[in-house]
Structure 1
Amino acid sequence: MPVVRPTDSTRHELGDAQFETYVAPSTGSEDLCAWRLVVRPGARGLAHRPSNEEVLLVLSGTLCGALGGEEFALVPGEVLHVPADVEVRIDGGPEGGTAWVSTTRGLEAVTAAGERLTPPWAQ
Structure 2
Amino acid sequence: MPTFTPADADVHSVHGSTFSSFVRTDSGSADLCAWKLDVPPGLTGVAHRPSNEEVILVLAGQLIVTLDGESSTLQTGSVALVPAGSTLRVDTGPVGATAWVTTTAGLHATLPDGSSMAPPWAQ
- Give the TM-score range, shorter chain: over 0.9
Q: Secondary structure at 1:93's aligned position in 2?
A: coil
Equivalent residue number for residue 42 of structure 1: 42
CA contact (8 A) 1:61 1:93 kept: no
Equivalent residue number for residue 8 of structure 2: 8
Give matches, 1:71-90, under 5 Å: 71-90=71-90
TM-score, normalised relative to structure 1: 0.97
Q: Equivalents in 1 of 2:93, 2:73: separation in Å?
A: 8
Equivalent residue number for residue 18 of structure 2: 18
Q: Secondary structure at 2:7's aligned position in 1?
A: helix
What displacement does 1:95 show?
A: 1.6
What displacement does 1:93 show?
A: 2.5
Q: Equivalents in 2 of 1:90, 1:57: separation in Å?
A: 12
Counting strand residues as a fraction of each chain, which structure ranks higher? 1
Q: Equivalents in 2 of 1:114, 1:74: separation in Å?
A: 28
What displacement does 1:47 show?
A: 0.2
What displacement does 1:65 show?
A: 3.2
Structure 1 unaligned residues grouped into runs of 5+: none
Structure 2 unaligned residues grouped into runs of 5+: none
Q: Equivalents in 1 of 2:113, 2:81: separation in Å?
A: 23
What's the Cα RMSD here? 0.9
Q: Equivalents in 1 of 2:2, 2:81: separation in Å?
A: 25
C-alpha deviations, 1:57-80, integer Å up to 9, x for none?
000010013101101110100000
Identity rate of aligned residues, in percent?
A: 50
- Provide runs of 4+ in structure 1 moved above 6 Å: none
TM-score, normalised relative to structure 2: 0.97
Equivalent residue number for residue 64 of structure 1: 64
Amino acid in the other structure paired with 1:82: V
Q: Equivalents in 1 of 2:33, 2:65: separation in Å?
A: 22
CA contact (8 A) 1:43 1:92 kept: yes
